[in-house]
Structure formats: C-alpha cells, structure tokens
Structure 1
Amino acid sequence: MRLIAGATAALSAALTAVLLVPQPASAATQLIGNGAFTSSTTPWAAIGQTTVTAESGWMKVAVKQVVANPWDAMVAAPTTAALNPGKSYTLSFDAYSTTAFKARATVQYTATPSANQLLATDVQLTTESKRYSIPFTAATATDTAAEVTFQLGGSGGAPTVRFDNVSLLETQTTRPTALYVSPLSNPARWAGDPANDGDTAKAIAADIANEPIFEWFGGWFGDITKAVDDYVGAAQAQDKLPMLVAYNIPNRDACGGQSGGGAGDATGYHNWITEFAKAIGTRHAIVVLEPDAVAAAECVTKFGKDPEDQYRMLLDATQVLRAQAPNAWVYLDAANATWHAPDKMAPLLVKSGIANTRGFSVNVSNYFTTVDSETYSVAVNGYLSGTVGTKKYVIDTSRNGNGPYEDDTPGDNWCNPPGRKLGTPPIRQLSGAEYLFWVKVPGDSDGQCGISDEPAGTFDPDLAMALING
C-alpha cells in the first residue's frame, strides 16, 4: 500500500493522553440450539413435504414433491430463549441448493406465526454455498417464544437444499468497550502453526497476535458476506468490538501499485460495499474506510480515470455504510502527516463523504509519530470545522515506535523500511485521538521491497520480529 513518506518536526512536549481501560467482556447467547449439524439435525423438524437428515456437517432438506406455497415444504427449529421485543437480532446461515430458486427465511413467534413474522425475507439460493446475514427487530407480543423457519416450497420443482452455520444472536444493547482479538489473524495463525520456530512463534504470539488488530477485507474473499459475518459474529459472541478495513475501491493503491486491484468499476464497488455493510448489519463495529483512497485519487489519472469519480465512489460508500451498518463507527482515511497539507486534505474529505462518518483515520500503514499525527489531525479538523464540523479521529500506531525511516531515497521509505518498531498498543483515549489502533497488521508486508520479499499483505515473521525488536 502506497503512503508517501517524509520527515516532520516533532513537538517538543510529549503527547499526554488519559487512557480508557476496556472492561471485561461477556459472551452473547446463541439462540439456535443446533446450527452446525455435526451429528444430527435435532431440534430441527421437517414440516409438510420435506425430509431432513444430517449429511457431512450440513442439514440436508429434501423437498419431496412440487407444492404451491413456500410453507408447504419447510424446516423449523425453536429458539433456545424468548426474544426481547424492540431488540435487534441477526440471523445468518450458509445454504445452497441443487437448483437455484428463491426460498424464504423467517423468524416468527410460535403462538402467532402468521401475524408475527419478525423476519420474512426471500433469499436467492444458488448451486454454490453462500452466506446470508439478515438483521431484524423483534416486535411486541404477549408470547415471545420464537422459531426459525426455512420455507422451500413454491419453486416449481423439488429441490434439495443444504444448510450450515445457522446462527441467531441479539445485537448488544450497550456498545462493547473491549476490542476483539482474532485467533485467525495472520500473526495468530502463523504463531499457532507447530511447524514454525518455537521461540519466534512465542514472541509473535505474545507481542503481536495477542493484541486487537484490524482485519482487512477486499476482493480476495469470494463470499464477502461470509467473511464479514464470520468475523463480526465471532466478536459479537464475545461481546467485543470487531475492527474492519474496507479495501476494495477500483484502482486501489494507485500511487504505489504494490497493493493494486480492487473492484472493476463504480457499480462493482457499490455492490461490494453494500454487501460488506449489510453483513455488518445492525451490529456494533469499527470500520476504517479505504486507506489512501482520498489521498491517492490524484494518481488514478495514470489509468485514464477521473479523481472526481473516486471521490464520488467514496461518498456513495459512506452513505451505504450509514444506511446499512448504522452501529458501525466509520473512519474515512485521511492519509498521513505529510502526504497532503491539511488545507488540501479537508475539502477532499468533505467531497468524499466524511459528513456521513464518525471521523477520519491517519497514519494507516505508516510510521509517523503519534505526536506528528496528532498535530496533523488537529490541523485537518481546523479546516473541517467551517464545513462539516470537527470530527473524531484515530491513529494507526502499529509501526510508529521509532518514527519514520529517513535516508537519501525518501520516495520508497514507506515500504518495509528497516529499524522500525511496534508503537503503543491499541487503546481508547479520553483526549486527542479517539483510539490508537493497530490498523496495519504488524508483520504483514507492504510489498516486495525494503527488508521483505513477500507480496503485499503476506505475513513475514522476520518482518514481525524486526518490529518487535525495533
């Protein structure tokens, strides 16, 4: 990922911050008694013209004959507890069918199913497994015992449908304070592999993998709904905040090229960010939106593209996230302390939709000190104050422990430079930046450059150890 480097003068006084220590988290309650189907389908029941069996970790539902109505061939399971009227929930599941058709998923009160379908939505099934993630709000009722149903009739045929990973969770009423530590992050997976060096693995596990690190999402996930839902759901189950980077804008990394790619065009990006946002749904989350995209828009001209189109795509993305993921705190990326002057960056953020977000992020994947990043952020806010008003901001401290690297070729000092060090671990603050985050995954390469030969986004244990040792 391209981030223009350069030296700035550090403030003489050290940054002072009052830190908020996250409180312990409690686990959310899974309201589906059996959504994995490892050995049985109990308590799921076949209703009407269906048979239900467990097969290779899936629930296999066969429609026995052609029926007219969706509910004439269905499968249902009671929830493990009554629902709470007025509260938000998310139903998610994997499914595929022998033939493509529209099925119906419902969550309904068992005492009054036809009158109180809290969720009743058509889902387009295909012959390939896909994740569906659907938020809804529980309605008021006298009896709130509920059930989940999958209604498979009315297709004009007799398909066989398979389901897995069925989940029903209530969205936390109170926003979690603790940040999610993923056991599936790149450093965690590397450190957990018994084939890797023991001492190195222990160091990476203790100093990097045990910290809350952002998960990056782009076109490398074939099913973006599944990828986001798995990650957000895992955090929700622990009552912790998931942290996501949306990184799929067309002509991504236009200035640097090491992380090139992204959606094919504006329509493709709109569809992708919509699916990304819907997968978060009403659940609480933190999103850093498109690192570098605002700052690097000027570089899309090398591909014959118009920077104004990039700003419009970002504006659309902020609107989609605000509508489809209302409990996500979105931070539109504002590059770093020396790429664009604050008086230039501020109006670019405005036209890119920062009014629709909680604020902006700075220093993502870069090395500038927290002090310099604070100074830059305050200056940007000074120029935003007259238009959209001042905004919250967050700083990436993942690799800024020793500040930026300086030599006689500053143009490439952003790409895996030597002698860098982990910065302040992620934490929320009462003053200055709202959060200090590790947005960049420490140990993930910037590209085949500097002290790493690994492609961008690939975990390099040597790079990780260099950051640990400084």
Structure 2
Amino acid sequence: MRQSIRAIVGPRRAAPLWLALAGLLGSGCATAANQSGGFYVDPDSNPAIWVRDHGGDARAAKVRASIASKPMARWFGNWSGPIGGAVSRFVEAARSADKLPILVAYNVPGRDCGGHSGGGAGSPEAYRTWISSFASGIGNARAVVVIEPDALAQLDCLASDQRAVRTGLLQYAAREFKLRAPNASVYHDGGNASWVPAEEMARRLNAAGASEIRGFALNVSNYHTTADSNRYGAAVSAALKNQFGYAKPFVVDTSRNGNGSNGEWCNPAGRKLGVVSQKPSSGAEMLLWVKVPGDSDGNCGIAPNTPAGTFSPDIATRLIDGR
C-alpha cells in the first residue's frame, strides 16, 4: 500500500485528555493547537515491540525516542483475529489511559488491487460482518478511525461491477460506524494530493456515504507535504459543497512527510518524519501518524526484502535522520 475510567471520589479532577481533545474536534478552538498529549501511544506498535526485543541494538534508543514513544494508529485487518475483541481491547486500553486512540480498518475485498498489501476479506458478506464487529468493538467510546486506505482512490483498478460493490461496502461501513460507534470521529480515505482530481474524489466520497461520517483522510502512507495536502483537502471539501451541498473536514497523515514527496511511494530514500499527531490551528482538523513510521510499504525501494507492514529499523532510522 502505497495496520472504564472509574469515577474517583474526592475533589473534581480535570476532564480526561482524550475526552477534551475529542470534544474539540470541529470546534475550531484555538487552545487545541499543537495538542499532542491527548492521543494514545500504542505500547504494542511494531516499533515498540522491536525496541523491546532489541534493547542491545545501537539504533534502539533513537527509535524509542523518535518513533515508538509517539502516538500513532493501530491497523486492523485479517491478521487481527476476532475483530470485535481486538478493537475493544485497544480502545479500552486507550480509555483507561485517558487517551484518544487512532484506528485504521484495512480489510476491504481486493485490498491494494492485489499489490504489496493485497488481501482483505474473502467476500462482501464477510466484510460486512467484519466491519460491523469493528464498529461494535468501539461502541460508545471516543476514537479516531480511518476507513480503508486507498479503497476509493484505487477504484479505477476494478471492473465496473466491482467498483459498485466496493462503493456499496464503504457506504455500509459509514452507516455501521454511525450506528454502532456514535462517538467516534470516522474518516473515509481520500487518497493524496497528486492522485485523483478533487472533483472526482468528492463524487467518490459522496457515493461512499461521506455525509454519514465525520470527514475524510489524506496522504495515508504517502509523503506529500501538509501544505499540499491542506490545499487538496480544501478543494475536495469545496467540491463536496458545490456538488452535494455539504462540506467535510479532513485529517492528514504526517508520519513521513517531513521532506515532502519525491514522486515515489514505495520505501523511497530521503524521506523524513513529519510533525507528531496533533490538533493544528488551521487547515486539517488533525495531523496524525496514520502509517506506522518504519513499517515497510513492500519489497521495494530501500527495503527490497521487507514485506509490507513489517518493521525495518533501517527504514525507521532513515526517517529519523531524513536520509
């Protein structure tokens, strides 16, 4: 591709960080600018696991300080086991820590058009069951969810009848999250700034039920600058307004966009970590580490023997150093 707070008797305490941040989404409150403390740091991310297992490696301290200790998304797919329980455990761990979790649903049939991250549910029926269980696993908790990276941008690789099937599945997912996870901020994936024209992406988002959810996500697992992504996101939102009568906010993946894009997407050299997950003062309503920095895009580029989704300390340190 291109993965219960108990009531405390005594003095009233401040609102939990994850709840405060979640409540600010869409409010435009300036005090939320540069807020990163409210997002959940996954203790079992691929970088964190690698650091625990390789404490004697000279790179471990650098990876721990610059990547493993930062908030990022957990990706869920056909590797996650029973999905409802997997999602529920992750969300509950974040809630117990007073943090806001970031989740990615990545299991649509025909995922990645059979490319490096190919796979997905075996049938539309299996996917509908899977995504319903995913949403139910969140329940009434606060969470940020990105639905199926690349699924809309890659419609062109499908036959016309399969495009309709995929769009229907994404529309179903939007309705299920609205019904079963009403407090989650949910985003369809909208590709990136150089992929699909804004007017066409707006049509695809609308057909996939974007009106039912919070908004759309940009630059997932890619490298475009935040400025370029903000311009594209504003154009997509304006196109939604012009064509369908509503605008939507967007979020941007900044995990690897510190040096921008060189036109390559599969483990290119010379890329760099971007700003950590936060609520900025303008443009995107959230900047998020959606792609896990250090996880390979596939057997390509600077990691020709590292399958997609596998952590590489070499990729990680290159991102830290910008080389």
**Normalised by the size of structure 2, how large is the TM-score?**
0.88
Provide the C-alpha distance between the structure 2 equivalents of 1:356 and 1:222, rounded to a whole number of angstroms.
28
Aligned to 2:262: 405
Amino acid at match of 1:259: S
CA deviation profile, 1:353-381 (whole Å, cap 9, x unmatched): 10011000000000111111111001101
Matches within 5 A, 1:335-414: 335-386=191-242, 387-406=244-263, 413-414=264-265
> Unmatched 5+ residue regions in structure 1?
3-26, 32-80, 82-171, 407-412
Aligned to 1:188: 48
Provide the C-alpha distance between the structure 2 equivalents of 1:339 and 1:234, rounded to a whole number of angstroms.
36
Task: Pick closer, same or farther for the CA change 1:196–1:252 going to 2, 3 Å.
Answer: farther
Aligned to 2:66: 207
Task: Pick closer, same or farther for the CA change 1:181–1:264 going to 2, 3 Å.
Answer: same
Contact 1:355/1:388 (<8 A) preserved: no
Contact 2:17/2:99 (<8 A) preserved: no
Match of 1:447 among 277, 295, 298: 298
Pair 1:298 & 2:156 matched:
yes
Aligned to 1:261: 119
DSSP-derived class of the 2:296 partner:
coil
Matches within 5 A, 1:428-447: 428-447=279-298
Pair 1:28 & 2:28 matched:
no
CA deviation profile, 1:373-409 (whole Å, cap 9, x unmatched): 1110011011011315111100001111111124xxx
DSSP-derived class of the 1:191 partner:
helix
Matches within 5 A, 1:69-88: none
Provide the C-alpha distance between the structure 2 equivalents of 1:173 and 1:450, rounded to a whole number of angstroms.
39
Aligned to 1:169: none
DSSP-derived class of the 1:371 partner:
helix
Provide the C-alpha distance between the structure 2 equivalents of 1:210 and 1:193, rounded to a whole number of angstroms.
15
Provide the C-alpha distance between the structure 1 equivalents of 2:234 and 2:147, rounded to a whole number of angstroms.
20
DSSP-derived class of the 1:428 partner:
coil
Matches within 5 A, 1:212-291: 212-254=71-113, 257-291=115-149
Contact 1:235/1:241 (<8 A) preserved: yes
CA deviation profile, 1:31-68 (whole Å, cap 9, x unmatched): 9xxxxxxxxxxxxxxxxxxxxxxxxxxxxxxxxxxxxx
Provide the C-alpha distance between the structure 1 equivalents of 2:253 and 2:178, rounded to a whole number of angstroms.
23
Residue 174 of structure 1, CA deviation: 8.0
Aligned to 2:27: none
- How many percent identity over aligned positions? 48
Provide the C-alpha distance between the structure 2 equivalents of 1:334 and 1:284, rounded to a whole number of angstroms.
22
Contact 2:17/2:98 (<8 A) preserved: no
Q: Spell out structure 1 runs of 4+ moving beyond 6 A.
A: none
Rg larger in structure: 1
Residue 176 of structure 1, CA deviation: 4.1
CA deviation profile, 1:74-123 (whole Å, cap 9, x unmatched): xxxxxxx9xxxxxxxxxxxxxxxxxxxxxxxxxxxxxxxxxxxxxxxxxx
Count of residues in Structure 1 that have an aligned counterpart in Structure 2: 298
Amino acid at match of 1:271: T
> Unmatched 5+ residue regions in structure 2?
10-15, 22-37
Amino acid at match of 2:312: D
Task: Pick closer, same or farther for the CA change 1:220–1:426 going to 2, 3 Å.
Answer: same
Contact 1:291/1:333 (<8 A) preserved: yes
CA deviation profile, 1:332-354 (whole Å, cap 9, x unmatched): 10000011110111011000110
Provide the C-alpha distance between the structure 1 equivalents of 2:215 and 2:251, rounded to a whole number of angstroms.
8
Task: Pick closer, same or farther for the CA change 1:212–1:201 going to 2, 3 Å.
Answer: same
DSSP-derived class of the 2:144 partner:
strand
Residue 221 of structure 1, CA deviation: 1.4
Provide the C-alpha distance between the structure 1 equivalents of 2:191 and 2:168, rounded to a whole number of angstroms.
18
Residue 196 of structure 1, CA deviation: 4.8
Task: Pick closer, same or farther for the CA change 1:233–1:416 going to 2, 3 Å.
Answer: same
Contact 1:232/1:242 (<8 A) preserved: yes
Pairwise CA RMSD of aligned residues? 2.0
Contact 1:176/1:239 (<8 A) preserved: no
DSSP-derived class of the 2:93 partner:
helix
Contact 1:176/1:240 (<8 A) preserved: no
Provide the C-alpha distance between the structure 1 equivalents of 2:153 and 2:270, rounded to a whole number of angstroms.
26
Greater length-normalized contact order (CA 8 Å, ≥ 6 residues apart)? 2
Residue 30 of structure 1, CA deviation: 9.0
Aligned to 1:309: 165
**Normalised by the size of structure 1, how large is the TM-score?**
0.61
DSSP-derived class of the 1:426 partner:
coil
Contact 2:45/2:74 (<8 A) preserved: yes
